[in-house]
Protein backbone atom coordinates (compact mmCIF):
# COMPACT_ATOMS: atom_id res chain seq x y z
CA UNK A 1 0.00 0.00 0.00
CA UNK A 2 1.01 3.65 -0.35
CA UNK A 3 2.53 5.36 2.70
CA UNK A 4 0.21 7.74 4.51
CA UNK A 5 0.89 11.00 6.37
CA UNK A 6 -1.47 12.33 9.04
CA UNK A 7 -0.92 16.06 9.25
CA UNK A 8 -2.07 19.64 9.62
CA UNK A 9 -1.15 21.32 6.32
CA UNK A 10 0.33 24.41 7.98
CA UNK A 11 2.16 22.53 10.76
CA UNK A 12 5.94 23.18 10.54
CA UNK A 13 6.72 19.70 11.89
CA UNK A 14 4.48 18.12 9.25
CA UNK A 15 6.02 20.29 6.57
CA UNK A 16 9.43 18.85 7.47
CA UNK A 17 8.09 15.42 6.55
CA UNK A 18 6.38 16.55 3.34
CA UNK A 19 9.64 18.23 2.29
CA UNK A 20 11.55 14.99 2.83
CA UNK A 21 8.96 12.98 0.92
CA UNK A 22 9.06 15.47 -1.95
CA UNK A 23 12.86 15.41 -2.06
CA UNK A 24 12.81 11.62 -2.12
CA UNK A 25 9.98 11.64 -4.71
CA UNK A 26 7.84 9.32 -2.60
CA UNK A 27 4.20 8.85 -3.61
CA UNK A 28 1.96 8.94 -0.52
CA UNK A 29 -1.54 9.74 0.71
CA UNK A 30 -2.39 12.63 3.03
CA UNK A 31 -4.96 12.69 5.82
CA UNK A 32 -5.74 16.19 7.06
CA UNK A 33 -6.49 15.96 10.78
CA UNK A 34 -9.17 18.00 12.54
CA UNK A 35 -7.13 19.89 15.18
CA UNK A 36 -10.11 20.23 17.53
CA UNK A 37 -11.15 16.59 17.97
CA UNK A 38 -8.33 14.72 16.17
CA UNK A 39 -10.80 11.99 15.30
CA UNK A 40 -8.61 10.91 12.38
CA UNK A 41 -6.01 9.79 14.95
CA UNK A 42 -8.40 7.48 16.82
CA UNK A 43 -6.35 4.49 15.65
CA UNK A 44 -3.29 5.78 17.55
CA UNK A 45 -4.01 4.97 21.18
CA UNK A 46 -0.86 6.31 22.85
CA UNK A 47 0.17 9.11 20.50
CA UNK A 48 -2.23 11.88 19.52
CA UNK A 49 0.04 14.36 17.76
CA UNK A 50 0.93 15.07 14.14
CA UNK A 51 2.77 14.16 12.09
CA UNK A 52 2.19 10.42 12.10
CA UNK A 53 3.63 8.44 9.20
CA UNK A 54 2.34 5.02 8.17
CA UNK A 55 4.85 3.29 5.93
CA UNK A 56 4.10 0.97 3.01
CA UNK A 57 4.03 -2.02 5.38
CA UNK A 58 1.43 -0.38 7.63
CA UNK A 59 3.92 0.42 10.41
CA UNK A 60 3.38 3.61 12.41
CA UNK A 61 6.22 6.09 12.93
CA UNK A 62 5.83 9.11 15.24
CA UNK A 63 7.72 12.42 15.67
CA UNK A 64 9.02 14.47 12.76
CA UNK A 65 12.76 13.89 13.23
CA UNK A 66 12.26 10.15 13.73
CA UNK A 67 10.08 10.09 10.61
CA UNK A 68 12.80 11.87 8.61
CA UNK A 69 15.33 9.23 9.59
CA UNK A 70 12.86 6.45 8.83
CA UNK A 71 12.10 7.79 5.35
CA UNK A 72 15.81 8.19 4.64
CA UNK A 73 16.33 4.52 5.52
CA UNK A 74 13.28 3.32 3.59
CA UNK A 75 14.21 5.27 0.46
CA UNK A 76 18.03 5.34 0.44
CA UNK A 77 18.51 6.31 -3.21
CA UNK A 78 19.46 9.90 -2.36
CA UNK A 79 20.76 9.79 1.24
CA UNK A 80 20.02 12.78 3.46
CA UNK A 81 21.49 11.72 6.82
CA UNK A 82 25.25 11.54 6.31
CA UNK A 83 27.45 8.77 7.70
CA UNK A 84 30.54 10.99 7.52
CA UNK A 85 31.38 11.94 11.15
CA UNK A 86 31.93 15.65 10.46
CA UNK A 87 28.82 16.01 8.31
CA UNK A 88 26.79 13.97 10.80
CA UNK A 89 27.89 16.23 13.66
CA UNK A 90 26.95 19.32 11.64
CA UNK A 91 23.53 17.82 10.88
CA UNK A 92 22.92 17.07 14.54
CA UNK A 93 24.00 20.59 15.52
CA UNK A 94 21.65 22.26 13.07
CA UNK A 95 18.77 19.88 13.69
CA UNK A 96 19.03 20.91 17.36
CA UNK A 97 19.14 24.55 16.22
CA UNK A 98 15.98 24.00 14.17
CA UNK A 99 14.08 23.09 17.35
CA UNK A 100 14.82 26.54 18.79
CA UNK A 101 13.93 28.10 15.46
CA UNK A 102 10.52 26.43 15.27
CA UNK A 103 9.71 27.17 18.93
CA UNK A 104 9.89 30.92 18.29
CA UNK A 105 7.96 31.01 15.02
CA UNK A 106 4.47 31.18 16.60
CA UNK A 107 5.42 34.61 17.96
CA UNK A 108 5.89 35.79 14.36
CA UNK A 109 2.78 34.36 12.72
CA UNK A 110 0.30 34.42 15.61
CA UNK A 111 1.35 37.65 17.29
CA UNK A 112 -2.00 39.35 16.63
CA UNK A 113 -5.45 37.78 16.34
CA UNK A 114 -5.87 39.09 12.78
CA UNK A 115 -2.61 37.44 11.76
CA UNK A 116 -3.71 34.21 13.42
CA UNK A 117 -7.00 34.17 11.54
CA UNK A 118 -5.10 34.68 8.27
CA UNK A 119 -2.77 31.82 9.21
CA UNK A 120 -5.75 29.53 9.79
CA UNK A 121 -7.27 30.31 6.39
CA UNK A 122 -5.63 27.11 5.15
CA UNK A 123 -8.20 25.05 7.04
CA UNK A 124 -10.94 26.23 4.66
CA UNK A 125 -8.90 24.95 1.68
CA UNK A 126 -7.73 21.56 2.96
CA UNK A 127 -9.29 18.56 4.61
CA UNK A 128 -12.79 17.18 4.25
CA UNK A 129 -14.41 19.45 6.81
CA UNK A 130 -17.89 20.91 6.68
CA UNK A 131 -18.44 24.67 6.39
CA UNK A 132 -19.22 24.87 10.12
CA UNK A 133 -16.28 22.69 11.14
CA UNK A 134 -13.88 24.77 9.03
CA UNK A 135 -14.98 28.00 10.68
CA UNK A 136 -14.92 26.55 14.18
CA UNK A 137 -11.38 25.30 13.63
CA UNK A 138 -10.29 28.56 12.02
CA UNK A 139 -11.53 30.99 14.68
CA UNK A 140 -11.04 28.88 17.80
CA UNK A 141 -7.62 27.79 16.56
CA UNK A 142 -6.61 31.37 15.81
CA UNK A 143 -7.61 32.50 19.30
CA UNK A 144 -5.76 29.65 21.00
CA UNK A 145 -2.58 30.18 18.98
CA UNK A 146 -2.58 33.91 19.71
CA UNK A 147 -2.58 33.04 23.42
CA UNK A 148 0.14 30.44 22.84
CA UNK A 149 2.28 33.01 21.02
CA UNK A 150 2.02 35.40 23.96
CA UNK A 151 3.16 32.66 26.35
CA UNK A 152 6.10 31.78 24.12
CA UNK A 153 7.17 35.42 23.89
CA UNK A 154 7.27 35.60 27.66
CA UNK A 155 8.93 32.21 28.16
CA UNK A 156 11.61 32.70 25.51
CA UNK A 157 12.03 36.42 26.27
CA UNK A 158 11.26 37.41 22.66
CA UNK A 159 10.55 41.14 22.74
CA UNK A 160 10.42 41.61 18.97
CA UNK A 161 9.29 38.57 16.93
CA UNK A 162 10.54 40.01 13.64
CA UNK A 163 13.97 40.70 15.12
CA UNK A 164 14.02 37.12 16.45
CA UNK A 165 13.39 35.76 12.95
CA UNK A 166 15.97 38.08 11.37
CA UNK A 167 18.55 36.82 13.86
CA UNK A 168 17.70 33.19 13.10
CA UNK A 169 18.01 33.62 9.34
CA UNK A 170 21.38 35.32 9.88
CA UNK A 171 22.55 32.41 12.06
CA UNK A 172 21.57 29.91 9.38
CA UNK A 173 23.41 31.82 6.66
CA UNK A 174 26.51 32.03 8.87
CA UNK A 175 26.30 28.26 9.34
CA UNK A 176 26.20 27.71 5.58
CA UNK A 177 29.63 29.40 5.35
CA UNK A 178 29.21 29.93 1.63
CA UNK A 179 28.10 26.34 0.89
CA UNK A 180 24.94 25.95 -1.21
CA UNK A 181 23.43 23.69 1.46
CA UNK A 182 24.20 22.81 5.04
CA UNK A 183 24.79 19.31 3.70
CA UNK A 184 27.37 20.65 1.23
CA UNK A 185 26.71 20.28 -2.48
CA UNK A 186 23.30 18.72 -1.85
CA UNK A 187 20.73 19.04 0.94
CA UNK A 188 21.31 17.28 4.24
CA UNK A 189 18.84 16.47 7.00
CA UNK A 190 19.11 19.96 8.50
CA UNK A 191 18.36 21.57 5.12
CA UNK A 192 15.22 19.45 4.76
CA UNK A 193 14.07 20.22 8.30
CA UNK A 194 14.68 23.98 8.21
CA UNK A 195 13.22 24.32 4.72
CA UNK A 196 10.11 22.44 5.85
CA UNK A 197 9.73 24.65 8.90
CA UNK A 198 10.26 27.81 6.85
CA UNK A 199 7.95 26.64 4.09
CA UNK A 200 5.06 26.29 6.54
CA UNK A 201 5.19 30.01 7.33
CA UNK A 202 6.67 31.41 4.12
CA UNK A 203 3.35 32.68 2.79
CA UNK A 204 2.54 34.37 6.13
CA UNK A 205 4.26 37.13 8.10
CA UNK A 206 7.58 35.31 7.97
CA UNK A 207 7.90 35.55 4.18
CA UNK A 208 8.85 39.25 3.99
CA UNK A 209 11.41 38.72 6.76
CA UNK A 210 12.98 35.85 4.80
CA UNK A 211 13.36 38.12 1.79
CA UNK A 212 15.27 40.70 3.84
CA UNK A 213 18.19 38.29 3.97
CA UNK A 214 19.28 37.71 0.34
CA UNK A 215 21.48 34.70 1.20
CA UNK A 216 18.71 32.99 3.17
CA UNK A 217 16.22 33.74 0.41
CA UNK A 218 18.61 32.30 -2.19
CA UNK A 219 18.97 29.14 -0.09
CA UNK A 220 15.17 28.83 0.06
CA UNK A 221 15.04 29.11 -3.74
CA UNK A 222 17.63 26.34 -4.09
CA UNK A 223 15.61 24.14 -1.74
CA UNK A 224 12.45 24.79 -3.75
CA UNK A 225 14.30 23.58 -6.84
CA UNK A 226 15.59 20.48 -5.04
CA UNK A 227 12.19 19.48 -3.62
CA UNK A 228 9.84 20.82 -6.28
CA UNK A 229 7.85 22.57 -3.54
CA UNK A 230 6.89 26.21 -3.15
CA UNK A 231 6.93 28.28 0.03
CA UNK A 232 3.14 28.08 0.25
CA UNK A 233 1.82 24.87 1.82
CA UNK A 234 -1.71 25.26 0.41
How many Å separate Cα 146 from the centre of its chain?
Answer: 19
Please name the residues in contact with 150: beta carbons below 8 A apart, sequence gap of 6 or more: none
49-105 pLDDT, tens digit per residue, is: 999 999 999 999 999 999 999 999 999 999 999 989 988 998 999 999 999 899 888
Which pLDDT score, from 0 to 100, does residue 221 have? 96
Which pLDDT score, from 0 to 100, does residue 233 have? 62
Which pLDDT score, from 0 to 100, does residue 226 have? 97
User: Which domain covers residue 62, as residue numbers?
Assistant: 4-74
Buried b (16+ CB within 10 A) or exposed e, 22-48: bbbebebeeebbbbeeeebbeebeeee
Q: Which parts of the chain sit beneath pLDDT 70?
A: 123-124, 126-128, 233-234
Spatial distance between the Cα atoms of 104 and 126, rounded to a whole number of angstroms: 25
Residue 203 domain-assigned (yes or no): no
**Half-sphere exposure in the Cβ direction for 184 (13 Å, CA):** 11
Which pLDDT score, from 0 to 100, does residue 171 have? 97
Which pLDDT score, from 0 to 100, does residue 57 have? 97
Which pLDDT score, from 0 to 100, does residue 43 have? 96
Residue 21 domain-assigned (yes or no): yes
Which pLDDT score, from 0 to 100, does residue 127 have? 65
Residue 216 domain-assigned (yes or no): no
Residue 180 domain-assigned (yes or no): no
* C-beta of residue 2 within 8 angstroms of C-beta of residue 30: no
Which pLDDT score, from 0 to 100, does residue 59 have? 97
Residue 221 domain-assigned (yes or no): no
If we measure between CA atoms, which residue out of 61, 77, 66, 70 comes closest to residue 24?
77
Which pLDDT score, from 0 to 100, does residue 123 have? 67
Decide: residue 151, CB within 10 A, 0-12 exposed, 13-18 middle, 19+ buried: exposed
- pTM score of the predicted model: 0.91
Residue 26 domain-assigned (yes or no): yes
Residue 16 domain-assigned (yes or no): yes
Residue 175 domain-assigned (yes or no): no
Which pLDDT score, from 0 to 100, does residue 110 have? 85
The CATH number for 36's domain is 3.40.30.10
Q: How many domains does the chain have?
A: 1
Amino acid sequence: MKPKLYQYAACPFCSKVTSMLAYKKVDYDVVEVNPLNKKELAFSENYRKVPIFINARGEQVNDSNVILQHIDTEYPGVPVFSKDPAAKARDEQWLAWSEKYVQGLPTVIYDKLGDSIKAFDYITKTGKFSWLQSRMIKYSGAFVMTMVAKKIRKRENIENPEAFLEAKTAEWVAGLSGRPFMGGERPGAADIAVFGISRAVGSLNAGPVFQKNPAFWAWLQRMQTQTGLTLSVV
